[in-house]
Chains A and B, each alone.
Chain A
Amino acid sequence: MRKRRTAGVVCTAMLAAALATLALAGSASAKLTGEFKKFEQCPFSNLEVNRCINSLSSGGEVVLGSKKTPIVNAATLQGGYSKPVSGFSKFFAATNGITLSKAPQSVPGGLLGIVPPEKSPTLVKLLSKFFFENSLTGVNSTLELAKPASEIKISESNMGEAEGVALKLPVKVRLENPFLGKNCYVGSSTSPMWWELTSGVTSPPGPNTPIEGAPGEVEFIEGGRILKLNNNKLVDNAWAAPSAAGCGGILSFLVNPIINSQVGLPSAAGKNAAILKNTVYIATAAAVRKNNEENP
């Protein structure tokens, strides 16, 4: 009798565990549909999050000192943000931890910084690319967040009105190359480069001159639940860049000065620029939650 009862309890417990597993599996497999899939990494279950954002930067350029790097490989900024306080919203990190995806961009001229003139024969350009942008001497630069996502600030109203700072981003740039090692950075968590990006017109110190961003063309999709900004352009050319550090591993004391000399670091405000051409998707966290609940 006692044995039978014990077996019953075990069966009930197993059943409960199985049900709980199923329930959890159901929750985990809840899927966003349509354009809402873009918000899969939005922390929408956090009730502090008011809106979800997914911004794909697929063009533009970053001028760091004397190096101009075009954005060829798309990078994504994703996460959520709160209701605005004093005009700015607090940012919440993407649930997978990749708030700003790492998209290495090839630095034209690579390590040696040799860029053949535009009018050079194609063969010369190809040889130059082979010798100076190959896996050994080529250099990639990758933009990374220098501080926690909560340090990012976003202003919807400034973005829409093309006035003031739309996105404040603490960044660092990793220079990648077998010679440079894994920790060659311009900027750090303690000394980040602060990009104060605007969709309006910048007012940088010289020698830079004002450049113009654009809020982009608004389009509503998913019945007005998602806003898509096409051809959004965010710019800042008033930021300063510190010296490179950690380049060359144990030889950094030798390599850092070479990199600094090559790139022109530290580079004062007015000598650098960030131009990001984006496609931005925004939805309310409530709409994303609802879509998630409707599709278990």
Chain B
Amino acid sequence: MKMKATSIFGRGVLAALMICAVFAGSAAAAPAWKFEGKTLEGSETIVGGAEDSFLTVPGLTTDCENFLYKVSISNSAGTGVGSVNELPLYDCGTNSEFCTVEAIEAEKLPWSTKLTTVSSSNYIVIEGVKVGVLYGGEECVLNEVLAKITGSAGGLVNNTTESATFNATTFKATATKLSALGSSVEWQGFFPTEAFEWNREKALTVG
């Protein structure tokens, strides 16, 4: 009887330890924003301009020469979070001689962001993405069509270049997806960032 009680106790402890281990593992997997290796306290604003960023639906690519972004970041319970507050997009067009971009606007800002770790790599995930693109061009099949790009996007964080890269591989790793016109679309780009307020010129890392 005593033996049975001991066994039950033993199993309980084991279960508790396993649960703790799971939570510890989970906590360890949540990366934080850091400047010069120190965990960010309070909040900071980071800004940047996208390089080689374009959105592709099979057969049609849309890109913007000026793709700026302003993101406020902080750490919450040890995990990096944030929100995309501004995303002005200018000088946009397509790879089709028939299709133009008449207007483009990020909608329903701010979009929430969070840092996450997948297979020992750190990613930034943006949720609630919504961009409206009004296409033009008399012969373009999307002429006067307002396409809504919606969904979530996950990009791989690179501490060396202080940037995030978004592509099909990073979307797959983070189980994120963007859709437009009822179909999934591919977003690709390189997004360097730098601190804009209290931590200017300090190295931004995630870990």
Contact = CB atoms under 8 A, between A and B. Distances in A.
B167 interface: no
B50 to A, nearest CB: 23
B125 to A, nearest CB: 24
Q: How big is chain A's contact interface, by range? A: 20 to 34
A284 B97 contact: no
Contacts of A51: 141
B136 to A, nearest CB: 11
Contact of A218 (B57, B94, B96, B144): B57
Contacts of A227: 141-142
B183 A224 contact: no
Main secondary structure of the interface of B (DSSP, over half): loop
Nearest to B144: A83
A70 interface: no
A219 B58 CA distance: 5
Interface residues of B, number: 25
A227 B182 CA distance: 13
Contacts of A199: 182
Interface of B: 57-60, 94, 96-99, 137-145, 147-148, 180-184
Q: Which are the 7 A-B pairs with shortest beta-carbon distances?
A: A215-B182, A220-B59, A224-B96, A287-B139, A218-B183, A220-B60, A227-B141
Interface of A: 51, 83, 156, 159-162, 199, 214-221, 223-227, 282-284, 286-287, 290
Given A161-B148, A220-B96, A224-B59, 15 more contacts: A160-B181, A214-B182, A217-B184, A218-B57, A220-B57, A220-B60, A220-B141, A221-B59, A224-B60, A224-B98, A225-B96, A226-B141, A227-B141, A283-B141, A284-B139
